Amino acid sequence: MCEGGINTGQMKLAVAMVNDSLALSQQWLEQLHRLADQGKRTATSADLAQVTVMLGEAREKLDAAVEKLHLTQDDDVLVERL
Backbone torsions φ then ψ of 77, nearest 5 degrees:
-135, 135
What are the phi and psi torsion angles at 79 (to 5°)? -105, 125
pLDDT tens, residue by residue, 20-76: 999 999 999 999 999 999 999 999 999 999 999 999 999 999 999 988 887 555 555
Q: pLDDT at residue 1 above 90?
A: no
Sequence length of the chain is 82
Check: pTM over 0.75? Answer yes or no. Answer: no
Tell me the domain boundaries of the chain. 8-67
pLDDT in the model for residue 52: 96
